[in-house]
Chains A and B, each alone.
Chain A
Amino acid sequence: MSSHPTGMAVNTRLVARPVPGLFTRLWTGSLSHWVGQYSHPMTWTGLTIFVLLLLFSWGGPWVYPADPLAIHANHILLAPSWRFPLGTDNLGRNMLARMMAGGRVTLEVGLLGSFIALFMGVLYGMSAALSPRWLDKVLMRLLDALLALPGLVLMIFFAALVPLNALSLVLVLGFLSWPGLARIVRNEALAYKERDYVLAARQFGAGTFYIARTHLMRSMLPILIVNATFMVADLILALSGLSFLGLGIQPPHPSWGGLLNDGLQLVIIGPWWLIVFPGLAIFLAIVAMNVLGQGLLARLEGR
């Protein structure tokens, strides 16, 4: 009961409320449950930075259309100004446009490569966990062998074999990054496989594929999401490393790692804007994904 301006007591429970719409019902139902469960300041911070980087790379050209490859011979090595907000490089190319283009390719390789790695890791890990014990052992020893190979050396090896473009780099990085994930997936699957709800599902007549897809995947989804975010950060760093070694995206096309490498070549003549901006972008992308992953992990572990 609360009191009404007229002085009469009003039963607030009888006041009609609007019928909740579909979105409200979704939100107050499972969606808010999920968001509430995984919401953490670190998650929001990481997500915000990452979305800003995505907006910069894909949305930027709409606001600031400029050709990243156009050479302005009269404007070599200009410091940031109104015309060139992030300056120009030693060929007079617009650094802001190059940062946007480089961001697109870097984030693309990071996200798509992680997707491939995630897919491979889940496929391999699940297969191992659900196969007979001897096959699981063979598959896991094989995985040990793969994990024992130094990743960067392998990447350099394969990068030297294939034509270097965004697609081939996505494939090389994706197909070289899954073994660690496969082990996590396999161990998680083995742990969840013994739970009573999996036994119950078998009692209802569930097959192995149903159990893997419904129960095991559902149970390990959070840990997969966390590892996927770390994977994106790893791949951005790996691509930047390769670009830095000249084995990434080939010039004249920019990538953040390549831009950083170009800048470092000129470090003695002091154009700081060629080093600071790509370095900052790589740093932010990696920090964003790691912070996002840490936030999710914190909630998962009940902190």
Chain B
Amino acid sequence: MKPWLDVEGLDVRFTLGEGGLLRRSQGTIHALSDIHFGLERGETMGLIGESGSGKSTLGRAILRLVRPTAGEVRLGGVNLSALSEREMRPYRQQMQMVFQDPFDSMNARMTVGQIIMEPLRLQGIGRTGERREKAAALLERMGLDRRAMHRYPGQYSGGQRQRIAIARALSTAPRLLVLDEPTSGLDVSMQARILNLLRDLQGEMALSYIFISHDLGAVAYLAQRIAVLYLGRIVEIAPTGTLIGAPAHPYTASLMDALPLMVRRGEAAHLPLPVGESPSPVHPPSGCAFHTRCPRAEPRCGMERPSLRSVSAGHQVACHFPLARMGNPPTPAGLPPYYAAGG
């Protein structure tokens, strides 16, 4: 049985430089390589990784805002990758996106009403009055006054704008929401409000989320499963509790080191943070891309690329020398303590 959203062998390359009429391009970035994962209705998949790991590109490639070079994205059995832009249009109702920067994701010269009604208008859903009513109802659900319809986004704060962006994403009653770091530009209390709002909305509307973030705490709060990306590849994918309680990839373990102790829950395996910058995706290291920063690297790691393999049920890791399971049994992810206060 195939999952509802099925990503298979997704590959995205960008050509660098101008590559114009006379000049030759200066190389390619392999932004995503051979991505496989599935997502069920009502489920949340977390994507974490450093900047440049390809997590935003993955979100965009699923929505086909970025053209994949290879691979397939299937939604409810329909192969979206095979559709033309025109054929794709009706499917766009089902998948929406919330962007990281609420100051860039909406046109400052449109009123909030126009912004929320834009997807409805473009998809030809409802008549003007119905759209207006729907937009006002969504605003109220987001905890905003319906008089906001006639105001401009410039009159609102980051948190309010992000709620307007969520209202816009929900206007077409989508099933899948790609959340591209929706909380990273907000202060902590607002982050908690947005996370709680997203969790409530998921229950009300049976939404599936792809939650992209570099904040493991926020991801762990919403996601049932987490995929860790490093230089365009999934290096580990596991249920949230397993990933936090018993990470198998040294990179994941080192990310745990960045988490506050309370979230980490006891003495789960963790390694010191990787030293230095993430290597350039134009010239990724040979073999395992992490071997240049891995404290456990051995000669084999520089020569042979490890493929994803199962270590336990639903837990896959791409490492020649995965960390052994430690003593603590995985605990299901609840509300990380530092989010509890603001909610």
A residues sitting closer than 8 Å to B (CB atoms) are 29-30, 33, 133-134, 137-138, 195-197, 199-206, 210, 214-215, 218-219, 221
Per the 8 Å Cβ criterion, residues 110-129 of B in contact with A are 110-111, 118-119, 122-123
Judged by a CB distance under 8 angstroms, whether B43 is at the interface is no
Query: Residue on B with the closest CB to A202?
Result: B65
A203 contact from B21, B65, B152, Cβ within 8 A:
B65
A250 to B254, CA, bound (A): 82
| A29, B104: Cβ atoms closer than 8 Å | no
Judged by a CB distance under 8 angstroms, whether B63 is at the interface is yes
Per the 8 Å Cβ criterion, residues 92-114 of B in contact with A are 92-93, 95-97, 99-101, 104-107, 109-111
| A196, B104: Cβ atoms closer than 8 Å | yes
B307 CB to nearest chain A CB (Å) = 32
| A205, B105: Cβ atoms closer than 8 Å | no
Task: Render B200-211 as a binary contact track against A, CB cut-off 8 A, 1 for contact.
Answer: 000000000000
A30 to B112, CA, bound (A): 12
B193 CB to nearest chain A CB (Å) = 22
| B21, A204: Cβ atoms closer than 8 Å | no
A204 contact from B99, B104, B110, B119, Cβ within 8 A:
B119
B99 contact from A137, A196, A202, Cβ within 8 A:
A196
A199 contact from B18, B65, B96, B150, Cβ within 8 A:
B65
Q: A196-B100, A196-B101, A206-B122 are in contact. List 5 more A-B contacts (CB 8 A).
A: A133-B18, A196-B99, A199-B60, A200-B97, A205-B122
A-B contact pairs, 14 of them (CB 8 A): A30-B111, A196-B101, A196-B104, A199-B60, A203-B65, A203-B97, A204-B92, A204-B118, A205-B92, A205-B93, A205-B119, A205-B123, A210-B122, A219-B107
Q: How many residues in B have their beta carbons less than 8 Å from beta carbons of A?
A: 33
Q: Note all chain B residues with C-beta closer than 8 A to A197.
A: 104-107
Query: Residue on B with the closest CB to A220?
Result: B109
A41 to B88, CA, bound (A): 51
A31 CB to nearest chain B CB (Å) = 12
Q: Note all chain B residues with C-beta closer than 8 A to A215.
A: 107
A19 to B21, CA, bound (A): 64
| A204, B122: Cβ atoms closer than 8 Å | yes
B110 contact from A133, A196, A206, A218, Cβ within 8 A:
A218
Q: Note all chain A residues with C-beta closer than 8 A to B122.
A: 201, 204-206, 210
Most buried by A among B60, B63, B90, B104: B104
Q: Note all chain A residues with C-beta closer than 8 A to B141.
A: none
A205 to B150, CA, bound (A): 24
Judged by a CB distance under 8 angstroms, whether B20 is at the interface is yes
A33 to B119, CA, bound (A): 25
Judged by a CB distance under 8 angstroms, whether B300 is at the interface is no
A190 CB to nearest chain B CB (Å) = 13
Query: Residue on A with the closest CB to B22?
Result: A137
| B96, A195: Cβ atoms closer than 8 Å | no
Query: Residue on A with the closest CB to B180?
Result: A196
Per the 8 Å Cβ criterion, residues 50-88 of B in contact with A are 60, 63, 65, 88
A33 to B108, CA, bound (A): 12
Task: Render B312-334 as a binary contact track against A, CB cut-off 8 A, 1 for contact.
Answer: 00000000000000000000000
A151 CB to nearest chain B CB (Å) = 28
A21 CB to nearest chain B CB (Å) = 16
A111 CB to nearest chain B CB (Å) = 25
A255 to B158, CA, bound (A): 55
Judged by a CB distance under 8 angstroms, whether B89 is at the interface is yes
Q: Note all chain A residues with C-beta closer than 8 A to B63.
A: 203
Q: Note all chain B residues with C-beta closer than 8 A to A199.
A: 60, 65, 99
B92 contact from A29, A138, A203, A218, Cβ within 8 A:
A203
A148 to B238, CA, bound (A): 62
